[in-house]
Amino acid sequence: MKKTIHLVINDEEKSLSVDVNKTLLEVLREDLGLTGTKRGCNQGECGACTVLLNGKPVSSCSLLAVKADGKSIVTIEGLAKDGTLHPIQKAFNEKGAIQCGFCTPGMILVTKSLLEQNPKPQLAEIKEAISGNICRCTGYVKIIEAISSLVDS
Ligand code: FES
Ligand code: FES
């Protein structure tokens, strides 16, 4: 069964007919081609599929797309503007916080939400903010350095 939903995705209004059983992750990746949002565990555990829903991080694998009807969504594709990376993306690049990159979209979106709510987070607050996002590569040190560099600047 299908239902028409209305979303604002990366500042663009969209109306689309979605399968009522599809997750937001599936709709983003399969229906909209926004493959920057990654599928890791598909069980709400790893954070790879994180997007911002009305500014708050959510696991898109654990949310039916129909539940996002009427809401605003930011995916990693929404951050760079006119070919220029977002400052958080630049910081992750410059600090070597990206290895395989699978966790990176989710980490960056969680960081965006954190810094919007709390521009000067303490180290413990940074750790808490990314605690739902698993990275198998970096050991988190470089990621925390990247986020901290944005706080200091
Ligand atoms: S893929 Fe959604 S939390 Fe892991
Ligand atoms: S950079 Fe590979 S999982 Fe984080």
Q: Does residue 134 carry a pLDDT above 70? A: yes
Cα 48 to ligand 2 centre (Å):
9
The span from the first CA to the last CA of the chain, in angstroms, equals 50
pTM of the model: 0.96
Report domain extents, the chain.
Answer: 2-78, 87-152
Q: How many angstroms separate the Cα of 66 from the Cα of each of 13, 29, 30, 94, 137?
A: 15, 15, 15, 38, 34
Q: For ligand 2, what atom is nearest to the CA of residue 48?
A: 3
Cα 153 to ligand 1 centre (Å):
31
Chain segment 42-68, per-residue pLDDT in tens: 999 999 999 999 999 999 999 999 999
Report whether residue 28 contacts ligand 1, using a CB cutoff of 6 Å: no
Chain segment 63-119, per-residue pLDDT in tens: 999 999 999 999 999 999 999 999 999 999 999 999 999 999 999 999 999 999 999
CATH 3.40.605.10 fits 87-152, yes or no: no
75 or 152, which is more confident?
75
Report whether residue 97 contacts ligand 2, using a CB cutoff of 6 Å: no
User: Nearest C-alpha to atom 3 of ligand 1 is from which residue?
Assistant: 44
Report the CATH fold assignment for 2-78. Ubiquitin-like (UB roll) (3.10.20)
Cα 95 to ligand 2 centre (Å):
14
